[in-house]
Structure 1
Amino acid sequence: MYLKKPLWSEGIEAAKGEASGSDPKPQAYGGAVAELVNSLQQQRVYREVTLALTTGLRDARAEFSFLRVRALRSLLNFLRSVADSDFTIDLFIQTQSIPQLQVVPVLFQHSLKESGLEAEDDCNENRVRDLSHIFGVEPMKLTSPATDAEVALALRVLEGCCLLHPHSTALAHRHNAIQVLMNILSTRGVLEQGACLDALISLMVDSPLNQMDFEKCNGIMEVADLIRDKQVDENLRLKCGEFLQLLIGHVNGRDSSPLANIHEDTRRLLGEKSASLIWAAGQFGSTLDPEQRLTALQIQARRVLESLDLY
Structure 2
Amino acid sequence: MHLKAGGLWREEDGAVAEDESSPVAELSKSLGRQKLYREVTLALRSGLRDACADLSFLRLRALRNLLKFLRSVSESDPAIRLFQQSQSSTDLQVVPVLYEHTLAKPKEVHVPDLDHIYSVEPLQITSPATDGEVALALRVLEGCCILHKESRNLAHKHGGVKVLLNILSTRGVLEQGACLDAIVSLMLESPANQMDFEAGHGIHKVAELIKDTQVNENIRLKCGEFLLLLVGHVLPSASRHSAAMFDGHNGRDKHPLASAEEDLRHLLGEKCASLIWAASQFGSTLDLEQRQTALQIHASRVLNSLELYSEWD
TM-score under structure 2 length normalisation: 0.87
Cα contact 1:133–1:140 (8 A) shared by 2: no
Distance 1:103 1:16, change over 3 A: closer
| CA displacement at 1:10 relative to structure 2 | 7.2
Rounded Cα–Cα distance in structure 1 between residues aligned with 2:99 and 2:299:
31
Distance 1:4 1:85, change over 3 A: closer
Distance 1:303 1:134, change over 3 A: same
Distance 1:11 1:235, change over 3 A: closer
Q: Which runs of 5+ in 1 are unaligned?
A: 20-26
Cα contact 1:12–1:34 (8 A) shared by 2: no
Q: 2:101 aligns with which of 101, 110, 116?
A: 110
**Counterpart residue number, 1:306:** 304
**Counterpart residue number, 1:91:** 82
**Counterpart residue number, 2:246:** none
Are 2:67 and 1:76 equivalent residues in the alignment? yes
**Counterpart residue number, 1:231:** 214
The 5 Å alignment of 1:22-61 reads 31-61=22-52
Q: Which runs of 5+ in 2 are unaligned?
A: 243-253
What is the RMSD computed on CA atoms of the aligned residues? 2.3
Are 2:265 and 1:267 equivalent residues in the alignment? yes
Distance 1:40 1:259, change over 3 A: same
**Counterpart residue number, 1:161:** 144
The 5 Å alignment of 1:1-311 reads 1-3=2-4, 6-7=7-8, 9=9, 13-16=13-16, 31-115=22-106, 119-120=107-108, 123-124=109-110, 128=112, 134-135=118-119, 139-250=122-233, 251-252=235-236, 254=239, 256-311=254-309
**Counterpart residue number, 2:247:** none
| CA displacement at 1:50 relative to structure 2 | 0.3
Greater shift in the superposed pair: 245-254 or 196-205: 245-254
What does the per-residue CA deviation read over 1:201-229, in whole Å, with 9 as the maximum and x for residues that have no partner? 00000111111111111110100000001
Distance 1:164 1:6, change over 3 A: closer
Number of matched pairs: 292
What code does the residue aligned with 1:218 have?
H
Distance 1:238 1:12, change over 3 A: closer
What SS does structure 2 have at the residue aligned with 1:286? Answer: coil
What SS does structure 1 have at the residue aligned with 2:263? Answer: helix
| CA displacement at 1:140 relative to structure 2 | 2.3
What does the per-residue CA deviation read over 1:18-70, in whole Å, with 9 as the maximum and x for residues that have no partner? x6xxxxxxx79x92222211111110000000000000000000111010000
Rounded Cα–Cα distance in structure 2 between residues aligned with 1:32 and 1:12:
17
What code does the residue aligned with 2:4 have?
L
What does the per-residue CA deviation read over 1:132-182, in whole Å, with 9 as the maximum and x for residues that have no partner? 98535x532110000000000000000000000000010000111211111
| CA displacement at 1:15 relative to structure 2 | 2.0
Cα contact 2:145–2:151 (8 A) shared by 1: yes
Q: Which has the higher helix share?
A: 1
- Larger CA Rg, structure 1 vs 2: 1
| CA displacement at 1:285 relative to structure 2 | 3.7
What code does the residue aligned with 1:220 have?
I
